[in-house]
Structures are given as C-alpha cells and as structure tokens.
Amino acid sequence: MTKIDRRILKTQEALKAAIIDLMKEKSFDDITIQDLSDRANVSRGTIYLHYMDKYDLLDKLIETHIDELRVRCAAAADLDFATGSVLWTEYFESHYAFFSTMLASKGAPFFRSRFMEFLVDEFQDEVDNTKGKNEGLNQDLVVNFVAASYVGVVEWWFMNDRPVTYLVLADQLGALLDRICE
C-alpha cells in the first residue's frame, strides 16, 4: 500500500474543513471555488488537482463518513444494539461539525438521503418479519420505518444541540432498536 504524501492529506483536510465552515455560513449552492480557495488557503488550481468540483469534494467527504459508519457497523455486529450504538453516537459526537452541518443545511439534502440509504441497507438483516411483533408486516416497510426513525432521532439530537449525552442517546436508541428489531 502506497503512503500518501502528508502535504496532500493536509490540503484535503483543509478543503474538507473549509466546505463545512462555509456551509455553516451559506447555502452549498452559493459556495464558490474561490470561497473554498480563500478559506482553505490554497489556490483554485490546487482544488482542481484533488477534486473535479465542489460537488466532488462534498461527495467524497460524505462517503468518508459513511464508510466509517460502515466499519463501525461491522465492529458492532456481535454486540447488542445499545452497546453497538455507542460506537455510532461516539462518532457523531467526535464529528459534530460535519453531522450537524449536513443534517441542518438546506444545501446538503444528498447527505440525508445517502445516510438513509445506508441505514436501510444496514437494518435489512436486523428486522425479522417472520416472527414476533413484526410477523406479517412488510419487510421493506419496517426497515424503512426503522431507518427513517433513526435518521430523525439523530437529526433531532443535532438540531437541538445535543440535549442528551451521546451515551444516553446510544442507550435509548439501542433500547428502541431492541423493541423494533427483535
């Protein structure tokens, strides 16, 4: 595996931080390459060396976080929902700027739909509609209900400036998931 030059990583991190900062101030559609260049303190040409455009930058940033959530899902595969949820809520907490901006920003509806799509995929194997409380219910309906509920609670948590700790959030989400996905 080839080692990536630290200067490249530093530039990419500066650009990712710049787009998050700018999205706190204005709509994504109103952000220009010049805005990114100024905020990250890099030339416009440097931006184009790393990304095709601002959409490519945002897409790659979103996929980085979705990939990390996927890794955390795999790590939580053998854990109960409450314990597994700690891995996620801890990540939400440590990347507060990204998630709060993506879920609060009118300019980033792609993130919400991408997050929802990811959760539907992850909950697919967790919901059993052949027995228990979910017996006879439509599998897709239940999975989409669980995913939408999860997204909604996470949005609520960020939009209300984290009214409970990430540990309380994890515990309560885990308890709710245990009820629905048993």
pLDDT of amino acid 124: 93
Give the 3-state secondary structure of the chain.
CCCCCHHHHHHHHHHHHHHHHHHHHCCHHHCCHHHHHHHHCCCHHHHHHHCCCHHHHHHHHHHHHHHHHHHHHHHCCCCCHHHHHHHHHHHHHHCHHHHHHHHHCCCCHHHHHHHHHHHHHHHCCCCCCCCHHHCCCCHHHHHHHHHHHHHHHHHHHHHCCCCCCHHHHHHHHHHHHHHHHC
pLDDT of amino acid 108: 72
CATH of the domain spanning 59-181, picked from 3.40.50, 1.10.357, 1.10.20, 1.10.10: 1.10.357
pLDDT of amino acid 50: 93
Domain edges within the chain:
1-51, 59-181
For domain 1-51, give the CATH number. Answer: 1.10.10.60
- pTM flag (> 0.75): yes
pLDDT of amino acid 1: 64
pLDDT of amino acid 107: 60
Q: What is the pLDDT along the chain (182 residues), one digit of tens a residue?
A: 677 788 989 999 999 999 999 999 998 999 999 999 999 999 999 999 999 999 999 999 999 999 999 999 999 888 999 899 999 999 999 999 999 999 877 667 889 999 999 999 999 988 888 888 889 999 999 999 999 999 999 999 999 999 999 999 999 999 999 988 86
